[in-house]
Amino acid sequence: MSAADDEVAAPGGRVRRRQGWLWTCGLAVYVFAVWYFGWHKVRAALATLDLRFLAAVLCAETAAIGLRVVKWRYVLGKGRSASALFFVSKTAGSLTPMRLGELSPLLLKRHRDSRVGAWIVLDRLLEVAATLVLGAAGIVALGGVLADWLPIVVVTACVLVMIPAYVVTRRSWFLWLYRRFPRGSRAAKGAGFLAGVSREIGALRRYTPLAASVTVLVTCLDLVACILGYRSFGFPLPFSVAATAQCVHAVTAVIPFTPNPTGVPFVAGSAIIHEFGHIPTEVVVAAVPILLAAKLTVFWTLAGLCAWGTRRGNPVTSTDDEACKARRK
């Protein structure tokens, strides 16, 4: 891996070290669940695992993550280390409250430009919107007591998607702030950068239809992976339940004090699957680490292949480096 790629990987490593205690909390939650529901029951559930469906889970996860990488490369183009930035952004995002770590590529001077910032914001909005829309559809399909969640999903969509989408497109607001701060100050530079991000979001509109379509597709692939995961234990999981569980998981994960590493979002999503998918608790407890391990295995395998390709100096990377040099000149 080159020095530039070491620079790209550094923020993710620092975030992982700082958030290590959260993973300890999540592990404690899982150990408690295994103890509470009985290790012998969880072990019996694991014994029924069908490896054929587990292989299908790995294929679905590979397709989902691979398409996300392609989406980043399609929008950012050559010369921006799109693949490396994707893995850094998603790693840091999964470890931080409200997934704010997804902005971590902007900590790197080499990649701190308005287009990268605009795409990270836009991609996050698209991912959240797809999850909430599918979740709302799942809630409507299930009805009953879950109908009480629909207003929460709508409010969450407004807070996490509609309001931010409106604000980031108000370039005139950021320019107004830029003029009010002393030239050369950090505040002025920040307002100027945000104005550039707002301008770039407008420029990215021509990419939005295809990027949004890919986002919906990969979100559905995530749900398919979840369904196949429970099918590997011999239990069918309706698409509506999987979509609702993923939505509840996402809403819980954006709460500042319950990010993914705490394990709380997994508990919330698993409760939906158990209650409305009618799947035994021991199967749910056994399936959660299997699905998480499958996702992490695929994610880090593809990240490693990306790093290996960079180290080998493949033609794509060489072209990227040349484009970077040309742009700097």
Q: What is the pLDDT of residue 100?
A: 84
Confidence check: pLDDT of 3 > 50? no
| pLDDT confidence of residue 312 | 64
| 51-63: pLDDT as tens digits | 999 999 999 999 9
With 50 as the cut, is the pLDDT of residue 322 above it?
no
Whether pLDDT at 7 is above 80:
no
Among the listed residues 128, 101, 146, the one whose alpha carbon sits nearest the alpha carbon of residue 247: 128
Tokens of 255: 């709460």
Per-residue confidence at 95, pLDDT binned at 50, 70, 90?
confident
Q: Which residues of 217-256 are buried (b: 16+ CB within 10 A; e: fewer)?
A: ebbbbbbbbbbbbbbbbebebbbbbbbbbbbbbbbbbbee
Residue 36 confidence (pLDDT) above 80: yes
Say if residue 259's pLDDT is above 70: yes
Residue 122 carries which side chain, given as an amino acid letter?
L
The residue with tokens 């104005």 is: 195
Mean pLDDT value of segment 235-246: 95
Whether 314 has a pLDDT exceeding 60, the answer reads no
The arithmetic mean of pLDDT across residues 75-90, rounded, is 89
What's the whole-number average pLDDT of the chain?
84
310 falls in which pLDDT band (50, 70, 90)?
Answer: low
| Residues of the chain by 3-state class (helix, strand, coil), percent to 5 | 85, 0, 15
pLDDT digits (tens, 9 = 90+) for 194-239: 999 999 998 999 999 999 999 999 999 999 999 999 999 999 999 9
- 41 vs 256, higher pLDDT: 41
Q: Which two tokens stand for residue 200?
A: 């770039």
| pLDDT for position 163 | 87
pLDDT at 128 over 70: yes
39, HSE (Cβ side, Cα atoms, 13 Å) = 3
Of 211, 30, 228, nearest in space to 125 by CA: 211
Q: Which has the higher per-residue pLDDT, 249 or 3?
A: 249
pLDDT at residue 30 greater than cutoff 90: no
**pLDDT per residue over 262-302, tens digit each?**
888 999 999 999 999 999 999 999 999 999 999 999 999 99
Beta-strand runs (E) in 29-86: none
Question: Taking a C-beta distance cutoff of 8 angstroms, is the pair 118, 200 a contact?
Answer: yes
Least confident residue range of 37-46, 120-129, 141-150, 204-213? 141-150
pLDDT at 329 over 50: no
The least confident of 15-19, 24-28, 56-60 is 15-19
The torsion angle over the Cα atoms of residues 285, 288, 293 and 294, rounded to 10 degrees, is 130
Helices and strands (H and E) in the chain: how many: 15, 0
> Does pLDDT of 189 surpass 50?
yes
